[in-house]
Amino acid sequence: MIQIHPTLNCNNRCSFCSYRESRGLTIDDCRLMIEKTSQSSIINQQSRELPYDKIEKVLYRAKCLGYTELKISGGGEPLLYKRIISLICLAKYSGYYTYLQTNGTMLSMVHKRFVDDVRISIGDGIDFAKCKTKHFANGYNYVVTANPDYDNLNNVIMSAINHNQYVKITQDDTDIENAVSMDEIRNHIPQNPLITLWDVFSYQEGTNPCESKSPLLGADGYWYSCCRSQYAKGKDLKTYDAEMRIGNIDDDLEIVTKSSFDGSQCNRCYYDN
């Protein structure tokens, strides 16, 4: 699988976002800056997105190398990417099985039509009752914070069960010191085959060499070995970790993805090596 974060811009400010310190402007930020300064050019300077023509080259090259799955997420909110429709159409007609992970606020049937699996990111502090696009989802990724809102979580679960949607539950890995245990979460939710639990405490030390099975192209233009690289050294970063880069967007993709990554530097590996 290839993973891409097309933009750092987002229209939410989720407390549990693992990239919240690298995000670009929200829609409200843009409005406020225009009102205060009347310098709309500042918005463009702060807008950080991957060039579409370079994404095209990456997807073409990845297909030639045998990759068949693509995950579009963030980083930021991918549906804010100015050419998101072009991107998901390109992925579909290139033959990728495409996953879209979004906060769901701008999700539409147009996106759903061209994407194979739509996952809505939600968690404590985000009122599920106000989620107007829930019927477009295939499932949910729910983050339980240090102050769990089990009523909200169970609202998500019951809706998902009624619509045959999956729910993946995890803890807030940006605040792992205060994260609740998975046993506590289990005590507050029903058992159901549609529910899966992903425990942030279930990590191991990395090994060398490490095969990058799902390389991530960040919105900063650099490749990372996986989507958990900002936590690999136990830093609890809330942005990309420059020390974990394995290449940039202009590098030959085969060299980037086939090179031997030194996984022994990872104190927290969440994947089987």
pLDDT at 265 over 60: yes
Mean per-residue pLDDT for 28-38? 49
The residue with tokens 């739509």 is 118
Residue 77 in contact with residue 11, Cβ under 8 Å? yes
**Residues 101, 237: Cα–Cα separation, whole Å:** 21
Residue 144's Cβ-side half-sphere holds a number of Cα atoms within 13 Å equal to 28
Cα 190-107-60 angle, rounded to 5 deg: 105
Strand order in the sheet with 216-217: 195-198, 166-171, 139-144, 117-123, 97-102, 69-72, 2-4, 216-217, 222-224, 245-248
Q: What does the pLDDT read at residue 23?
A: 63
Return the DSSP state at 7: B
pLDDT at 30 over 80: no
Q: What is the pTM of this model?
A: 0.88
How many residues comprise the chain?
273
pLDDT at 28 over 60: no
Tens-digit pLDDT profile for residues 216-262: 999 999 999 888 888 888 877 788 888 889 999 999 998 888 777 88
Which residue from 177, 204, 199, 190 is spatially nearest to 272, judged by alpha carbons? 204
Q: Which of the two residues, 265 and 219, has the higher pLDDT score?
A: 219
Q: What does the pLDDT read at residue 35?
A: 53
CB atoms within 10 A of CB 212: 21
Mean per-residue pLDDT for 19-26? 66
The model's confidence at residue 34, banded by pLDDT at 50, 70 and 90, is: very low
Q: What does the pLDDT read at residue 203?
A: 86
Q: Which of 28-42, 46-60, 192-206 has the lowest mean pLDDT?
A: 28-42
Which residue from 87, 89, 77 is spatially nearest to 47, judged by alpha carbons? 77
Q: What does the pLDDT read at residue 20?
A: 76
Cβ burial 119-158 (10 Å sphere, 16+ → b, else e): bbbbbbebebeebebbebbbbbbbbbbeebbeebbeebbe
